[in-house]
Structure 1
Amino acid sequence: MGRAIPRRVTVFDDLNNIQVQWDAYRAKYEDDSSLDELAPEPSDEEQAEKRELERGHTAVEEMEHVVKDFVKKAGKEGGRAMLSELEKGAESAKTHDTQSATRIVGRELNRRVRKMNEQRMKDFEEASRRVQEGSTTALTPLALIPEFDESSRTGRGLQNDMTGSLLCPGEIDWNDTNIRAAVKRMDPDYDFASSAHSRCFYKDEKFNPDLPDEGYLQSYLLLQVYRTIYTSPSSANEQSEDVENLPPANKKQASNSRRAHVANIIHLSEVTGRSIAYAAVHLHLALTDASRWVHSYDGYNYHDLWNFIVDFFEDPIDDEAAKQAKELLKWWTDRIFTGTGSASNSRGTKMVSRRQAVVKTLESQS
């Protein structure tokens, strides 16, 4: 049962901590009638504290899907032993999923490497033909890109141009060689660790600075990591990179493999923000050269990343953002559990960014 915890409940907080947060939230915030409408607007620190407690409160509610009457059982005799066993299962799941994500990401990276090498060989053959014809005397030596070790993260990370580009936030111009060098040497003026907008999370890995939510959490790589963790590694085989036009799910095949799917074991029938956040953490980590599962690496805090994505879904800034989050979850569920014949079947393709929502609000007020 503990293996379900990071996959649907919480990743970085232990079970004792979320219970403390659950109690604190109930004592301080659950009775809305006690709030004073004339009280001053809460400070950023107060809002952050409330949101932290709220995440823990939601985590305990999610634990009820893992262990029925979790709070009662945790407080009874034998509760500590139960929590200890659950924590062991959670750690085991994180280790297993780290290895699975490393392999699927390595496989996808090598698909790209092979395509690039095929093009380089074609270009070299064409250049060789021109030399033989005498139309040119210059022939650049053929340089092929080495493939990645799919079972190890060695050779990945910021120092590798391919994985570095995927890790780099969209706000930073990785294509500028001077900026790229600054990111690699971790120049504080180009802090890749300060943003949750890594290109690996975006559809087609394209970031629009004017619409930062456009395509966010809709990348092919993220879908592949999610499939590997929550359905099965085989479900990620031969998937189209066109995330907007996927074939309908094979109902017979899905039925036959139901027992093997992690999502079914942990009673997850639709995609949740917490499960996306967990997959995102594993994708980002799999692109680094970290030797093991860690909470932070190269200054990048994975707890902060998980919180950011969870809050994207659970704590939207306004009604438009709430609608956007709901549509994005539907987009995900269509692709993971339902299947879709075309992009028009998913309302997620109509999503707007937070910035667009603000513009709409201002226009309506003018």
Structure 2
Amino acid sequence: MQSKHRETSTTNAHSQQSAVQAASVQARQRQRIAQLEEKLEALELGRVVKEKQANYYAAQGRAIKCIVALFDNIEDLVAEIDRRYEGGNEDHTIDQDQLQIGYVTLSTTLPWLYRNGSEMEHNEYTQMLKMLWQGADSARGDNTSKLKALVSEWVNREFKPDSPVDSNDKHTCGFSNDACGRLLCPAKLDWNNPVVRAGIRDCSEGYIVMDLSFPAYLYDGYTANPDDLEEGLFKGKILIQGYKAVFTSPSSAKDVEGDGDGADIIQNNRRARKSFNGAKVKKHIVQIINMKKVTPRSIAYIMCLAPWSRCTVQGQQASQVVEKVFGRSHRNDISDVAKARMSVNALAMQRAQCDDAAFDSA
């Protein structure tokens, strides 16, 4: 009887011990699962944070080529500032001065860049610059595609050419198209003159289109006053439409009359960021960087994109159009006298004369 009781007690003890061991194993397993869940949550949170950070840098980067520098990268801008800091007050080239201006503009446009960059490791800093530049490249591609269709539509609607501009057919664009040629024609020349049209199309002497000539589409009414080349400059309807389409939205370009000073463009940044039904509206460049005013570099950006999108010359690619209209490939072929008569230099001379007259009358 006692032996049977001892056996029963031993069995119960083993059962209790097994139960305790099982409970201990389950507890450790639950603890391990909880630890793994915490690690997974941390990894997921880190992924989300990195993704948000990457999206933020890409969004901020969309403003770089629009406002800061169309062709220079951030590393070149920073390198120029470092060179000046180390080299003292030596003479600088025009290109180096442009890089310095670009860095100043970059610091104003993205004021957080220097602070964040100085606190990062080199690898993190390099990755940040990469994401900024990806955003810049993406914006340029998006803007080019956007204007390619919009500008063709605007030209066809306003000028109703016999041969409509087709954004997908380069042979209907550029100087071969009467409407596009009228807009790209140097403001001091008369596109209605058949000699002028033939000279421009053949790149004849006296009719070479280059960066020293303001194209007609920059002017209000697409016509310049030769006695006052500043009158109406940068107030061309299509130029302002392109500016609005890029910096705010294509819909904001529909009501442009071409006689504003750009204030209405920035006014979009002060409007409510939700639509009437409360849905969120995608931010545009003006909102992303809190842009306060129209800047010279932002105008230059649209000046380059507009002819690029609209006016492909026969047998040429879009990048060649920008070089043809604003490039310097023919600069050495033109005399100094001819260059002085071109609208950019002529305007500078008119300004100098006005300044001299104002000084003499003071």
Equivalent in the alignment of 2:238: 221
Figure out how many residues of one structure are paired with residues of the other and give that number.
Answer: 277
C-alpha change, 1:250 and 1:53, in structure 2 (3 Å) is closer
Equivalent position amino acid for 2:64 in 1: I
**Within the alignment, does 1:271 sit opposite 2:287 as a pair?**
no
Whether the 8 Å CA contact 1:222–1:283 is kept in 2: the answer is yes
CA RMSD of aligned residues (A): 3.6
Residue equivalent to 1:234: 251
TM superposition shift of 1:274:
1.8
Cα distance in 2 for residues equivalent to 1:247 and 1:55: 26
Q: Is the contact made by 1:74 and 1:83 (CA closer than 8 Å) also made in structure 2?
A: no
Judge conservation of contact 2:210–2:327 (CA < 8 Å) in 1: no
3-state SS of paired residue (2:356): helix
1:300 correspondence with 2:325: yes
Paired AA for residue 260 in structure 1: K
Paired residues for 1:304-323 under 5 Å? none
**Contact 1:22/1:57 (8 A) holds in 2:** yes
Instruction: Give the Å deviation of 1:177.
Output: 1.0
Change (3 A) 1:362 1:236: closer
Deviation string, structure 1 residues 194-215 (Cα, Å, up to 9, x no partner) = 4241111111111122222221
- Cα distance in structure 2, aligned partners of 1:98 and 1:92: 10
Return closer, same or farther for 1:228/1:47 CA change in 2, 3 Å cut-off: same
Distance 2:122 2:270 in 1: 44
Match of 1:123 in 2: none
Aligned counterpart in structure 2 of residue 280 of structure 1, from 303, 310, 328: 303
AA of the residue aligned to 1:96:
D
Match of 1:79? 125
1:270 is paired with a residue whose SS is coil
Query: 3-state SS of the aligned residue for 2:110?
Result: helix
Superposed, 1:112-123 pairs within 5 Å as 112-114=158-160
**1:294-332 Cα shifts (integer Å, max 9, x gaps):** 37646334699xxxxxxxxxxxxxxxxxxxxxxxxxxxx
Distance 2:108 2:262 in 1: 32
Equivalent of residue 354 in structure 2, options 338, 341, 359: 359
In the TM superposition, 1:185-224 aligns within 5 A as 185-224=202-241
CA drift at 1:107: 1.6
CA separation of 1:155 and 1:205: change in aligned 2, threshold 3 A: same
8 Å contact from structure 1 (residues 19, 60) kept in 2: no
Quote the residue 2:115 is aligned against. 69
- 1:256 matched residue in structure 2: 274
**DSSP-derived class of the 1:184 partner:** helix
Pair 71,174 (structure 1): closer, same or farther in 2 beyond 3 Å? farther
Q: Secondary structure at the match of 1:78?
A: helix
Change (3 A) 1:20 1:267: same
Q: Distance in 2 between matches of 1:240 and 1:296?
A: 27
Give the counterpart of 2:83 among 24, 31, 36.
Answer: 24
**8 Å contact from structure 1 (residues 25, 50) kept in 2:** no
Distance 1:284 1:82, change over 3 A: same
Report deviation, 1:182. 1.0
Q: 1:148 to 1:254 in 2, by over 3 A?
A: farther
Distance (whole Å) between structure 2 residues aligned to residue 274 and residue 237 of structure 1: 23
Q: Which residue of the partner structure matches residue 342 of structure 1?
A: none
Task: Give the letter for the 1:84 counterpart.
Answer: K
- Name the amino acid aligned to 2:237: Y
Aligned-partner residue type, residue 324 of structure 2: G
Does the 8 Å contact 1:226/1:276 carry over to 2?
yes
Tell me the equivalent position of 1:309: none
Report deviation, 1:172.
2.7
SS in structure 2 at match of 1:149: coil
Q: Rg: which structure is higher? A: 2
**Partners of 2:112 and 2:317 in 1: CA distance:** 26
* Deviation for aligned residue 1:148: 2.2
Q: Which residue of 1 aligns with 2:185?
A: 168
- Residue in 2 aligned with 1:101? 147
Within 2, Cα distance between the matches of 1:236 and 1:17?
34
Give unpaired runs (5+ residues) of structure 1: 36-41, 117-144, 305-351
Structure 1 residues 100 and 164, CA gap change in structure 2 (3 angstroms): same
1:224 positional shift: 0.3
Is 1:167–1:199's contact at 8 Å kept on the other side of the alignment?
yes
Whether contact under 8 Å (2:62, 2:285) holds in the other structure is no
Q: Which amino acid aligns with 2:221?
A: D
**TM-score w.r.t. length of structure 1:** 0.64
Unaligned runs of 5+ in 2: 1-59, 276-280, 330-346
